[in-house]
Structure formats: C-alpha cells, structure tokens
Structure 1
Amino acid sequence: MKRTTYAILAGLVALGAIGCTDVEKTEIQVPNSHSSEYYRNLREYKKSDHAICFGWYAGYTSDSSPSMGLHFTGLPDSMDIISLWSGIPSNNPEYVESSDFNERYMPNAYRELQQVREQKGTRFVMCRICRIEGTGFEKNDAGIEAYALYLARCVLRNNLDGLDLDYEPEGDWLQGENFTKFIQVLGQFFGPKSGTDKLLIVDFYGQVPPAETEPYVDYFVRQCYSCSRATTLQGYYDQMSSWCPPEKFIATEQMGWYWKNGGVAFTEEDGNTVDSWGNPLYSVIGMARWNPEQGHKGGFGGYYFEYEYNTTRPANATLGDIEQKSIPYYSIRRGIQEQNPANK
C-alpha cells in the first residue's frame, strides 16, 4: 500500500514539474562581505581596552536555515564574546560518543565558528551549568580536579576561547569553598592567572560567587533579568563591589522574553527614558548605557539574543519609536554604540 502511494505521489510531482513554468525563487541570505582592512580594524578594536558585548547564543543548531539569525556568520560583527548555550559544535564525531557535556557533531557550525573567530576576532566560550551532582565525579578534592580537567579538555580540543560557568548551585555540593577550589584548578588553563589568553567567566543570578574567585576570573556576568532601573543595577553591583573591580562586571537581560522591544521599560538615574536616537529606552540598551558609580563596567549583553534578529525596532510606532527602518539585532547593535560611542 505504501509503495503504491509513493509511486502515485512521485508521478504527480513529476507532472507538476513539467507543467510548471513559474518557479518561486527561494531567498537565501548571505553574510555581509567587507574589505580586509575592515576586518583588521575589527580585530584590533576587540583587542583594545573597551566595555564588551556578551551573549548566550543557541541558534547555531539549524544548519539548513537560510536565516543569518541562525548562523555564526550572521552575528553582529562587534560582539566580543559568545557563550555557546546549545553545546559545543565539534568536527570530530568521536567527541560526541565519549562526552557527557554536550559536544555535538556539527561540522558546518564548527567551520562557521572558526571562520568568525579568525576573521572577526569574536571569542567563543563553552557554557556549563556548574554542578557536580550527576556528573560521576566524586565530591572531594580529587573529584574537583578531575571535573575541572575534563571541562578544560572539552574546551581545548574543540579550539574554543575559554569557559563560562553558570554558577547557580541550588544546593549542589560545588559551591562556596568547593567552588573556589574548582576555579583555582581551572585557573591554570583559563583566566588572568593562566597566561594562556583563554577566558574564565562566571555568570550567576541570585547567589553571588565567592569573593576568593576574583583573581582567577576575567568577567562576572550578572543575570539582571527584567531590571527596569539604573538604581537596581547599581544595587546588584554593590553586592560585590568590595572585591570585584567594575571592569569585570557585566550586566545582561533575558532577551528571549523581550525580543519585540529589547527588555522592559528602563529609567536612568536622572529620570531619562529615551535612547540617543529618541526612541523609548528598554533594559538591554539601558544596561549598555549604564555604568556603576565606582567606574566603567565590563560590558552588557543578553540571553537568547538571537530571538531579536527579526525585530521591527526601531520602526515600531506602537512602542513610540520615531525612526522608520528596522534593524536586525537592534538592541545589541545600538547597545554597542551607546556603550562605546565612536569618536567624532
């Protein structure tokens, strides 16, 4: 029965192909192309002393999608660090068979990632929710070291730029003093004390990481989700300002929730509620514009920022936007400009 049905369908498709003269063209997006000087300047900018743009990205698993919103090559050029939220794209199937840490055989995504690293200077880090329960590693010093060495191997064998640890222990054994020991082992391979130029990042939501980890960590990324006021951001930083330099503090929004407008309505300390272009100010760009009282922050960014690729901003009159042309990745692109204004 199935064979007969398939034969009929095949015949209908063939007849349709013969009789159809107007074939609809599929639009395939291609990444922008620039001069070698442009990319050289871009790489130099990312090596300079500046507040960075950081984001958790998960859209790279759709190899066949024509949308640049789901490809590494379509990321905003000036983004500095991408945390890989959907596992590590690998070009070696053996890693997938042996790994418990979400290495995935995606050779096309791996090729794109390495291209963006080399051409644009964007850095890519492995993201790992940092808990030891269920990993198979022992809850002692030997287990801490073995776990840390395993994660280091995952990063290095896939040619990545470092490690982003999501510090949300929620009762897990790997917190407090044990987490500090974990960071100290990883600090031999990543972070300021390693001498490797590989990044060690700790992101967190409610529970602040131990102060003792600071010398080993490049950036502390606070999940400031649904933050509507600059005074609230200041309070988040004040929780750790006694030991964390402001240039290591990054504020981020949950952009997957707020892709239509770039966050929640945001008010700055002086009461301002519009961006530099006169459009209503929302939290992603608000975080980009904000700096703590203690000095310049490390940067801004967002979680699931790829959701904003198809935004209609800043041409959404229902929000009060005064401009007429929409910009893909509006909040990220404009936030970078607000945070690091070009010299005029």
Structure 2
Amino acid sequence: MKKTITTLAVIFAVCAGFTACDTDAEPLNLQPAYKYSEEYYANLRAYKDTFKERSLCFVWFSDYDQSYSMAYRFAGLPDSVDICSLWGGYPDPVKNPLAYKEMWEMRNKKGTRLVMPTIIRIMENDNFANFGLTYEDMVNQTTTIDPDGVYPDWCVLYGNHLLKDVWEYGIDGLDLDYEPESSDERNYGIYGDRMTLFVQYLGQFIGPMSPNPEKLLIVDGHTPPAETEPYLDYYVKQNYGSSSVSFTSTFPYEKQVFTENIGAYWQTGGGMEAQAAAKAPEGHFKGGFGAFFCLRDYHTSDSGADKEIPYGHLRRAIQLQNPAVTK
C-alpha cells in the first residue's frame, strides 16, 4: 500500500497542473484536456480507499445544472477530492445527463465518494406534515426508544426518507446539516436528545456501527451531542473565516474536518490553506479540511494563488495537508 500511495503522490506532483477544460469558456485559468493512463486511475482509487487512514479533502459542490464552464462540472474538480457533498442535489440523468455522467465517472473512475446533504429541520415550514404528522405529534412524541426497542414515528419516517436516497441512488452516504435555529426545532425537533436518537436510528443502517460501514454518516454544522460520536464517520465543522482550528473534546481528532466558505472568500481563499496545514497533536491526524461552494475557487485571482491552475487555493491546500512524496 505504501508503494501505491507513493507512486500516486509522484503522479500528483508531476500532473497537478493539468485538468480538463471547456473550449467555450474564457481562456483565463483554463488548462487543456489531459488524458491519464488506466494505471493512474487505479492508483488514484487505491489512494482514495485510504481516506480513513489520513486527512481527507471534503467539498460541497453545486450549480452543476450549468455546463458552459468547467467550474460547474464534476469533471473540473481536482482529482484529490475525497468526498463530494452534492449541494446541488442528485443530477437527473434525463434532464442533466452531462452532470449525471461526469458525477459517476468521478465516483467510479476516480474513487471520489458521494454523499447527500440535507438541512435536518423537521419543524421548519411544518416539514413534519410531509410524513403524516401533526404539530401535536411532535410535541408529544418521546425522545427515547420504547421498551420494545421501537423508535418514535418522526424518527423512523424522516430517517427512512433520507436513507431512501442512499439506497435508490447508490451513493456513499448522508451529510446531515445540523443547524437547529428556531425555538420549535430546539424544543420539539431534531436537537439535543432527539438529535442523538435520530443519529442512532440512522446508524443502524449506515455508518461505522452499521452492517454497511462503507456507507458514510456525516454531520456538519453545530457540534452534535457526544453520544452520537460512535455512529458518525465525521463531524465537519463550518470553520468559516478562521485561520486556525480548534478541536472539540467529544470527537477523535481523526473524525474532525475543518471547512472554509469559499463562496464568501473566493478572492483570497480565506483560512482554507491555514486550516489544511494545521496538524493534530503528535500521534494523531485531523480528519481533514474542506470547502463550501468550492466551485468559486475555480478562477483564482489573488497574487498568492497559482493563477494558471484552476482551483488554485484548493490544490495548494491539498498539498499543504498531504504533501506529495517524492523519491
């Protein structure tokens, strides 16, 4: 395995400047299409399979209903991205065949994992009604499993609704955006003990405690309750606007991923490179780094970025976190 990873790292170092491009897009920051060998892709997939053994790269990607620029295409993402959260939803194979094709090529050829993000608020906009429940049901249902091991209705119905995407689409897991903002959500929705219960329910089917550990269960946003940790693969922190990282004591270092909002800091890259370079204490490694709205980094423009390479900040952050190994 070390030989495989070393070989791949050399390839990354030599080929980092190449990426596919759309001939209709403006010439700035674009590279000509480059074809890699099957050996390259085999090594790339082998490297991706080690993501639990090292710090990874996580992105939220969206706007792939457009195709006039590689910034909006899965084929334009750096090969070293480990997990892609589908912020633009699952592309329809009929209405958006190019995005569908390139997404699955990225998954099957490059080994990039695909997860479905969802803002988990069951009280907002009466979301509970979509599952045949009433406001009173939410107020009165318990936050615990009953003596027979049965979960409350809201937990089962909403949980199965999310799991359906994993099974039907064949993707790699769920990304739960945990942002309980309203008082109703905090009192009667997915928050605190109910969040723990919800994660435990999902954790029966996906995640490290399930019979399907290859299917990822991820939480981003607010820090989830400590009791959820065994059921989660990663806690992805929205560490926006910060050039430092702060580890929470309730999750292992290896499960904590720090992300920057490139949608807001596209001109400079914000704190992404600093977060990528940050290390866990000796004997550990951090879960990784990542970017929200990563597509806005496609056309980097500040003097510190690699102007001739799309995704300049993101690529440099990848190298800062996991420097290419040369013989």
Q: Taking structure 1 as the reference length, what is the TM-score of the superposition?
A: 0.74
Q: Deviations over 1:134-187 (max 9, x none)?
A: 222333311111110111002221121110000001131111111111111111
Cα shift at 1:188: 2.1
Q: Does 1:109 find its partner at 2:99?
A: yes
Query: Of residues 47, 55, 60 in structure 2, which corresponds to 1:56?
Result: 60
Query: Of residues 39, 42, 45 in structure 2, which corresponds to 1:43?
Result: 45
SS in 2 for 1:125: strand
Aligned residues, how many? 269
Distance (whole Å) between structure 2 residues aligned to residue 144 and residue 325 of structure 1: 48
Equivalence for 1:143: 154
Query: Of residues 138, 155, 159 in structure 1, which corresponds to 2:166?
Result: 155
Matches within 5 A, 1:46-195: 46-48=48-50, 49-62=53-66, 64-65=67-68, 67-91=69-93, 105-133=95-123, 134-135=126-127, 136=129, 137=131, 138=133, 139=138, 140=141, 141-170=152-181, 171=183, 172=185, 173-195=189-211
Any unmatched runs of 5+ in structure 1?
1-25, 93-104, 264-282
Change (3 A) 1:343 1:302: same
Give identity over the alignment, percent. Answer: 45
Distance (whole Å) between structure 1 residues aligned to residue 317 and residue 306 of structure 2: 19
Q: Deviations over 1:282-321 (max 9, x none)?
A: x1110000023373100001100100101135xx2xxxx4
The answer (yes or no) to whether the contact 2:199–2:228 under 8 Å persists in 1 is: yes
Q: Deviations over 1:51-76 (max 9, x none)?
A: 100011113121x41x2111111110
Q: Does 1:200 find its partner at 2:211?
A: no
Q: Based on CA coordinates, which of the two structures has the bigger radius of gyration?
A: 1
Distance (whole Å) between structure 1 residues aligned to residue 194 and residue 208 of structure 2: 20
Distance (whole Å) between structure 1 residues aligned to residue 153 and residue 203 of structure 2: 16
SS in 2 for 1:124: strand
Equivalence for 2:323: 341
Distance (whole Å) between structure 2 residues aligned to residue 83 and residue 324 of structure 1: 25
Q: Does 1:260 find its partner at 2:267?
A: yes
Change (3 A) 1:43 1:147: same
Change (3 A) 1:72 1:324: closer
Equivalence for 1:310: 299
Q: Deviations over 1:16-52 (max 9, x none)?
A: xxxxxxxxxx636875321000011111111112210
Q: Does 1:329 find its partner at 2:317?
A: no
The answer (yes or no) to whether the contact 2:306–2:312 under 8 Å persists in 1 is: no
- Which amino acid in the other structure matches residue 303 of structure 1? F
Distance (whole Å) between structure 2 residues aligned to residue 149 and residue 326 of structure 1: 45
Structure number with higher relative contact order (C-alpha < 8 Å, ≥ 6 residues apart): 2
Q: Deviations over 1:221-272 (max 9, x none)?
A: 00011113x3xx22xx1xx31x310000000011111111100xxxxxxxxx
Cα shift at 1:189: 2.2
The answer (yes or no) to whether the contact 1:125–1:164 under 8 Å persists in 2 is: yes
SS in 1 for 2:42: helix
The answer (yes or no) to whether the contact 2:85–2:117 under 8 Å persists in 1 is: yes
RMSD: 1.9
The answer (yes or no) to whether the contact 2:300–2:307 under 8 Å persists in 1 is: no
Matches within 5 A, 1:176-255: 176-196=192-212, 197-204=214-221, 207-228=222-243, 230=244, 233-234=245-246, 237=247, 240-241=248-249, 243-255=250-262
Distance (whole Å) between structure 2 residues aligned to residue 117 and residue 253 of structure 1: 23
Q: Deviations over 1:107-143 (max 9, x none)?
A: 3322211111000000111000011122223333111
Change (3 A) 1:304 1:327: same
- Which amino acid in the other structure matches residue 101 of structure 2? R
Any unmatched runs of 5+ in structure 2?
1-22, 142-151
Which ranges of 4 or more aligned residues in structure 1 deviate by more than 4 Å?
28-31
Cα shift at 1:218: 0.3
Distance (whole Å) between structure 1 residues aligned to residue 86 and residue 174 of structure 2: 10
The answer (yes or no) to whether the contact 2:306–2:313 under 8 Å persists in 1 is: no
Cα shift at 1:325: 4.5
Distance (whole Å) between structure 2 residues aligned to residue 109 and residue 31 of structure 1: 17
